[in-house]
Amino acid sequence: MTRFTDHMPPKFSFKIKFKFKFKEYSVIPGFPLSFSYSLIYLALFVILPLFVLIVKGSELGLSGLLREIFDLRTLLSFKLSLLTALVAALTNACFGTIVAWFLVRTPFPGKKIFDALIDLPLALPTAVSGIVLTVIYAPSGVIGNFFLKHFQIKIAFTPLGIIVAMIFVGIPLVVRTVGPVLMSMESELEEVALSLGANKWQVFIKVILPTIFPSIITGFTLAFARALGEFGTIIFIAGNMPMKTEITALLVYTKLEQHDVASATAIALGMLLLSFLLLLLINLFQSWTSKKVTGV
Amino acid sequence: MSIIVKNISKTFGNFKALDAIHFQLPANNLIALLGPSGCGKTTLLRIIAGLEQADHGEVSFQNADLLAFPANKRQIGLVFQHYALFKHMTVFDNIAFGLKVKPKKYRPSHQEISKKVHELLKLIKLENLADRYPRGLSGGQCQRVALARALAIEPRLLLLDEPFGALDAKVRAEMRRWLRNLHDTLKVTSIFVTHDQEEALEVADIIIIMNQGRIEQIGTPDEVFHHPANEFVMSFLGEVNVFHGRRDENHPKLMIRPHQLKIEHAKNKSSLQARAIRVITAGPFVRVELLDENDHNSKRIQVQMTHEQYRSNPVLPNSLVYLSPKDQ
């Protein structure tokens, strides 16, 4: 009979403990294939273009790069893009959650049609949605006219118009991330909370919201990223006044049209770094909240 | 008479889940709602809790009409099969939930809440796990937390829906005894739903046996087991041998439990010839499976006896024996 202690490792070991190792043997097939495929896929479609962007952008040298990025017009476009995207994503996170709630919880006739409608902003050519939004929100349009008359607020051709376009393209992303989580929530959690005396508002704030919060942040991140990257829909409604309603994507496009590839890439690089930092921060926050909820 | 369910009916589409359910039972009892799945027992529990609305009927407790209040005003403790613990809260916060959501006027102070929660943690013997999250607990611990959470609001009535259904056999047996002891200390009127007849017989003061939306029998475990009201109750409460009599028209069917039969080696006037197929001696009792010699297609007959009885009168597999009811 072997004693248990025979198999124990020595108490002091000087082995390096954090040697990186891919996972142990697993019965689930396809690891080498999926690994190499993901690597090639990412390299072709993400890493290589980014690399080219960095190489192109550094043609100007560090001082040139900084000069382009810290140009007032560029900085103002950064500020405009980021702020409008942030407002649009926050609005979507809030109202997209309400739409998802309504879709999941309320049965009504024509629900399938309503459901398909949600995805439309993803499928519509951006030029089409841009023109349609402009027609509606311009001072002569239905909604644009209403706001101008009653509140003296101009929507199209102002930053507000940019936010409208960004909200439009971001809606499905929030609804589609929050919806499934709401759907899979055990109804027993709410029933228990009710039985313990909580009112409906308390049930929502204390039980439902903490459960769906990580998915709301995911939806927010996607909507934010989409809003930052949006070009087609926005240029129709934005007015595109330099320093006022000119988003970064348009500035890059203008530079390219003037065959100024180097400054276009420099500005793009600046935007890329900023967005990457922001998304990284949001992702860290997201995994922290999700850890609190699910423990994974 | 303190819990009164009057004429409760409920239909889902074409399915009649509850058909004029009616009973009156004294308070402070541990009541089991027993029946096969789909018999309506959970629906009845949910109606009492306010999670489902009855088509018509009344439910009152201590002379108060329960159906007049929404679920969150009934002060009824609920425990579900899969615990339904709030995953984003610690054990402490789970138990404190019902106290923390009280309107400001009635809400106890932080110290009072903390004191109450610790008393409950002591009661469920999980004092050292107050700061854990539910994911770090075993099934039995989760269910005890769920129970403590329900007890925190000092419920008038405690409802448990298949409370031990998700636990493995050993923990389940422990939890049953624990629940029984707890009830003996607290005396909270409790109703638990189960499809496990052993659980109901072991734990409950009163058993309500339901089938297809109707009540088949109400009684103490002793009453329903020894004096079943009908065939359904008899067969649902334990193993039973059914003999289809041929000679006597007035008694076309004889139902008899395995422990009420005896095996003899000599024929007498009322005995039935049978062949022993299997003898199982492992366990607290000896079990013998036999086949009716006159009807090879019938179900196997089960006989149960003590080890003493078996030693004095052993049965060999494949031997021919004679069966007759024991003298009561």
pLDDT digits (tens, 9 = 90+) for B192-225: 999 999 999 999 999 999 999 999 999 999 999 9
Residue A192 sits at the chain B interface (C-beta within 8 Å): yes
| Residue A18 placed within a domain | no
* Residue A230 and residue A87 share a domain: yes
| pLDDT for B295 | 76
Do A133 and A240 form a contact (C-beta atoms < 8 A)? no
pLDDT surpassing 80 at residue A12: no
What are the pLDDT digits (tens) for B41-72? Answer: 999 999 999 999 999 999 999 888 999 999 99
Q: Is residue A6 part of a domain?
A: no
Share above pLDDT 90 across residues of chain B, in percent, rounded to a whole number: 71
- What does the pLDDT read at residue A23? 61
pLDDT grade, residue B245 (50/70/90)?
low
Which of A188, A202, A293 shows the shortest C-beta gap to B87?
A293
Tell me the shortest Cα–Cα distance from B178 to chain A, in angstroms: 22
B contacts of A206 (beta carbons < 8 Å): 86, 97, 101
Residues A66 and A95 in one domain: no
The verdict on residue A22 lying in a domain is: no
- A112 and A55, same domain (yes or no): no
Say if residues B28 and B189 touch (Cβ distance below 8 Å). yes
Size of interface A-B (CB pairs under 8 A): 75
Given a contact cutoff of 8 angstroms between Cβ atoms, the answer to whether A118 and A171 are in contact is: yes
**A152 and A182 together in one domain:** yes
Enumerate residues 143 to 162 of chain B having a beta carbon within 8 A of any beta carbon in chain A: 146, 149-150, 152-153
Nearest CB to B88 within list A186, A188, A293: A293
CB contact under 8 A, A191 and B97: no
Query: What pLDDT was estimated at residue A13?
Result: 46
Over residues B130-142, the pLDDT tens digits come to 999 998 899 999 9
Asked whether residue A177 falls in the same domain as residue A103, the answer is: yes
Flag if A188 and B50 touch (Cβ within 8 Å). Answer: no
Instruction: For residue A51, give the H/E element and its range.
Output: helix A48-57
Contacts of B153 in chain A (CB under 8 A): 196-197
**Same-domain pairing of A65 and A145:** no
Question: Could you say which of B84, B87, B102 has the minimum Cβ distance to residue A197?
Answer: B102
- Residues B203, B208, B214: CA angle, nearest 5 degrees: 150
- What is the model's pLDDT at position B290? 92
Write out the two tokens for B124: 């469920």
On whether residue A171 sits in a domain, the answer given is yes
Separation of alpha carbons B323 and A164, rounded Å: 87
Same domain, A224 and A149: yes
Same domain for A237 and A184, yes or no, is: yes
Name chain A contacts of B82, Cβ cutoff 8 Å.
Answer: 186, 188
Is B78 an 8 Å CB contact of chain A?
yes
pLDDT tier at A296, thresholds 50, 70, 90: very low
Domain match, A236 and A262 both:
no
Residue A4 has pLDDT above 60, yes or no: no
Which residues does A123 contact at the CB level (< 8 Å), separation at least 6?
none
Residue of A nearest to B159 (CA): A195
AA letter at A60: L
Q: Say if residues B254 and B242 touch (Cβ distance below 8 Å).
A: yes
Residues A109 and A241 in one domain: yes
Query: Are the Cβ atoms of A191 and B135 closer than 8 angstroms?
Result: no
Domain count, chain A: 2
Q: Is B163 on the interface with A (CB under 8 A)?
A: no
Q: A54 and A163: one domain?
A: no
CATH number for the domain including A239?
1.10.3720.10
Per the structure, the complete domain to which residue A150 belongs is given by: 83-245
Does residue A146 belong to any structural domain of this protein? Answer: yes
Domain contains A155:
yes
Same domain, A68 and A110: no
A210 vs B51, B88, B150: nearest CB: B88
Q: Do the Cβ atoms of B77 and A195 come within 8 Å?
A: yes
- CB of B290 closer than 8 Å to CB of B321: yes
> Domain for residue A203, yes or no?
yes
The answer to whether position A41 is within a domain reads no
In chain B, residues with a C-beta closer than 8 Å to the C-beta of A294 are: 87, 135
Contacts of B74 in chain A (CB under 8 A): 195
Are B236 and B36 in contact by the 8 Å Cβ rule? The answer is yes
Q: What is the pLDDT of residues A76-130, one digit of tens each?
A: 999 999 999 999 999 999 999 999 999 988 888 888 898 888 988 888 898 899 9
pLDDT (0 to 100) of residue B157: 93
pLDDT of the residue at B1: 56
pLDDT in tens, A229-272: 899 899 988 888 888 889 999 999 999 999 888 888 889 888 88
Interface pTM (ipTM) of the complex? 0.85
CA–CA separation, B229 vs B207, rounded Å? 13
